[in-house]
Copies of this chain bind each other. A is one copy, B any other.
Amino acid sequence: MTNYFANGNEVQLFEQAYTRKIPVMLTGPTGCGKTRFVEHMGSLLGRPVVTISCHDDLTSSDLVGRFMVTGGDVVWTDGPLTRAVKAGAICYLDEVVEARHDSLAILHSLTDHRRTLYLDRADEVITAPDEFMLVCSYNPAYRSSLKELKPSFRQRFATVAMRYLPPEREAQAIVAETGIDPACAQRLVRCAIAIRTAEEAFHFEPPSTRVLVTAAHFIAAGANEVEAAEACILAPLSTDGAISEGLREIAAAGLLAVDTL
């Protein structure tokens, strides 16, 4: 069982969607634990998880399969989506908004009452077993992106919105992952919260739980807290490499604050 920290009704909604054979769209900020959640649910439901990282180059052939030459002949080879359907697995399309939208059309017949995959090129029609579940993830924070999921596509999914853990739980997760001192973990969380709060003014991607865990790893390996926060929390925020004094002060205020989480 993976170590997943639940944070709302996401486990219940996921189970209900699985029971009623409804595809799920996970939304939430970078590094809030979407991937871990899917792994956790696969473990809970006893289903394998087939992960597909979406990208602009992902063709529908990469999803469903293609013809390949073997022994001089051309033989059909299933893609990961087809394998997941046949195996009754949880098929997880990570960062689905990155995919070419035309590649996603192949998912339509899997996400309505048909639950069927049409392999036109192989002249095959596959009906998904009850255990098959389609899960996509999507970071809606990229508001200015040219790429946006079509509303009609989003309506094919039940949306499960994920959030950062509350501060106390986030600090616990950091300790569980890296073994650092709980007080130090709390200082890192306060530092992140200070920046997340300032985010609306600065317009950057706020620091995720993941970067706090990374910083904690450095501290566990002997780095001091300022070095670790600089390398893992502050540096990725600035696009020009030069961390502004304003950010440094905000972060330092978080690290030094004495009030509890």
A residues in contact (CB < 8 Å) with B:
9, 12-13, 16-17, 19-22, 25, 27-28, 30-31, 35-36, 51-60, 62, 67-74, 79-80, 83, 94-95, 98, 100-106, 108-109, 112-114, 118, 120-121, 123, 139-141, 143, 148, 151-152, 154-161, 177, 204-205, 207-208, 210-211, 214, 217-218, 220-223, 227, 231-232, 235-237, 239-241
How many of these chains are in the complex? 6
Distance of A45 from chain B, by nearest CB (Å): 14
B residues in contact with A54, CB < 8 Å: 105
- 7 more contacts with CB within 8 A, not counting A31-B152, A80-B120, A159-B231, are A16-B218, A25-B235, A56-B102, A57-B103, A69-B74, A70-B74, A139-B152
Across the interface, A67 reaches (CB within 8 A) one of B68, B221, B227, namely: B68
Alpha-carbon distance between A253 and B94 when the two chains are bound, in angstroms: 35
Across the interface, A151 reaches (CB within 8 A) one of B17, B30, B36, namely: B30
B residues in contact with A28, CB < 8 Å: 241
Distance of A120 from chain B, by nearest CB (Å): 5
Judge whether A35 and B112 touch: CB under 8 Å.
Answer: yes
Q: Specify the chain B residue showing the minimal Cβ separation from A39.
A: B114
Across the interface, A210 reaches (CB within 8 A) one of B20, B140, B156, B223, namely: B156
Report whether over half of chain A's contact residues are helix, strand or loop; otherwise say mixed.
mixed
Q: Specify the chain B residue showing the minimal Cβ separation from A204.
A: B151
B residues in contact with A207, CB < 8 Å: 155
Q: Specify the chain B residue showing the minimal Cβ separation from A31.
A: B155
B residues in contact with A123, CB < 8 Å: 80, 83
Judge whether A155 and B30 touch: CB under 8 Å.
Answer: yes
Judge whether A237 and B151 touch: CB under 8 Å.
Answer: yes
Alpha-carbon distance between A101 and B154 when the two chains are bound, in angstroms: 24
Residue among A28, A69, A74, A231 facing the most chain B CB atoms (10 A cut-off): A231
Distance of A33 from chain B, by nearest CB (Å): 10
Judge whether B109 and A98 touch: CB under 8 Å.
Answer: no
Judge whether A221 and B72 touch: CB under 8 Å.
Answer: no
Judge whether A236 and B105 touch: CB under 8 Å.
Answer: no
Distance of A179 from chain B, by nearest CB (Å): 11
Known: A152-B205, A158-B214. A105 touches B55 (CB 8 A): yes
Judge whether B35 and A236 touch: CB under 8 Å.
Answer: no
B residues in contact with A60, CB < 8 Å: 55, 57
Q: Specify the chain B residue showing the minimal Cβ separation from A27.
A: B241
Judge whether B20 and A100 touch: CB under 8 Å.
Answer: no
